Amino acid sequence: MAAYQKGDLAAFAELVARHEKRLWNFLRRFVRDEATAEDLLQEVFLRVVKSAVQWQPSAKVSTWLFTIARNLCTDQARRAEFRRAESLDQVKAGEGDSGLRRIDRVAAASGDAETEVMGREIASLVDRAVGELPVEQREVFLMREVMDMSFAEIAAQVGASEPTVKSRMRYALQRLRSKLGELHETAGAAAAEGTP
C-alpha cells in the first residue's frame, strides 16, 4: 500500500491479488448473491484507491479491507432486508423434481466420480446452511473461517466482546450441525459400510 501511495501500480495489483479471493468468498457467502458480491468487491478496492492517500502505514491492510467490506455488507443487508435473495430457494425448488433430498443423493453416491459429486453437494449444502445463518452468526463464522481473523479481531470489528463473539460462533456451529447432521450421519454410515 505504501508503494502504491508512491505511484507503484504493480504494488496495488499485488495487494488486490493477495486479498481479493478471501474478500470475494466472504462477500459471496455474506450477501448470498454473486452479482452483488462482485459489485461489492469492486467497490471495496475502489474505496481503497480513493482513500489511498489517507492510509497510514500503521494500519493493517487486511483489517482495513475487511472493515470496508463489512460496512458494505451491512449496508447491503439493510437494503436487502425486505427483498431477500432467494437464489438458493430456487435451487431448493429444483430439488423437489427428483423427490430426493440432496443429502440423500450425496449419501447414495459411490466411487470417485460419486465422491466428487458428493463433495460438490456437501459444499452446496454448507453454502446454503451458512447462508441461512443469522447475520450476526454468519458474520462471525465467515470472519473466522474465510477471513482467518482471530476472535479478538472479530470482536474489535463487530464492536462486541470476545465472549459474545465466541457465543455467536457456538450458535452458528450448532445451526450448521443441525443442517448438516444428516449428511454427517450419512457420511459416517457410508464410511462404516466401506470399511472392511
Partner 1 sequence: MKCSEVSSLLVDFLYDEMPAAERREFLAHVEGCASCSAEVKATSSTLGHARAALRGPLAQDPPARVRARVLEAAQAALAAKASDSAKPRTARAPEPEGFFARLWRTPWLVPALGAAGVATVVLLVRVIKNPQVIPDQKPAVTETLTQPPAEPPGLHQAQPRPETESKPLAGLAPKRTQPKMPAAEFDHNSDAESKHAASAGKPHLATRARDNPVTAGRKLARSADELSGAGGEAPMLAPLGQASVGKGGGAASMPSRKDEESLGAVAKAGPGTVAAESPSTNRWAEPPPPRAVAAPVASAAAPAAAQPAPAKKAKAFANLDEMQKSAADQGLSRSAEREKAKAPMRLPPAEHAAQAEGPADKKGANKETLSFEERVRKAEKLFAEKKWAEAAAAFRALIAQAPSNPAAKTWRERVAAADQAQEQARAAKARKAASSDDALDGL
Residues binding partner 1 (CB under 8 A): 4, 7, 9, 12-13, 16-17, 20-21, 23-25, 28-29, 38, 41-42, 45-46, 49-50, 52-53, 119-120, 122-123, 125-127, 129-130, 141, 144-146, 151, 166-167, 169-170, 173-174, 176-177, 180-181, 183-184
Q: How far is the CB of 21 from partner 1 (least distance, A)?
A: 6
Closer residue to partner 1, CB minimum distance, 92 or 177: 177
CA 167, CA 137: separation in Å to the nearest integer? 9
Q: How far is the CB of 82 from partner 1 (least distance, A)?
A: 27
Helix count and strand count (H, E) for the chain: 10, 0
Closer residue to partner 1, CB minimum distance, 135 or 152: 152
Q: How far is the CB of 173 from partner 1 (least distance, A)?
A: 5
> For residue 156, what are the contacts with CB-CB under 8 A and spacing of at least 6?
none
CA 140, CA 166: separation in Å to the nearest integer? 8
Largest interatomic CA distance in the chain: 64
CA 23, CA 16: separation in Å to the nearest integer? 10
Closer residue to partner 1, CB minimum distance, 50 or 78: 50
Look at the chain and count its residues.
196
CA 136, CA 172: separation in Å to the nearest integer? 9
Closer residue to partner 1, CB minimum distance, 79 or 120: 120
Please check whether residue 115 is in contact with residue 92, taking contact to mean a CB–CB distance below 8 angstroms. Answer: no
Q: How far is the CB of 132 from partner 1 (least distance, A)?
A: 13
Q: How far is the CB of 59 from partner 1 (least distance, A)?
A: 18
Closer residue to partner 1, CB minimum distance, 70 or 168: 168
The residue written with cell numbers 463473539 in the block is 165
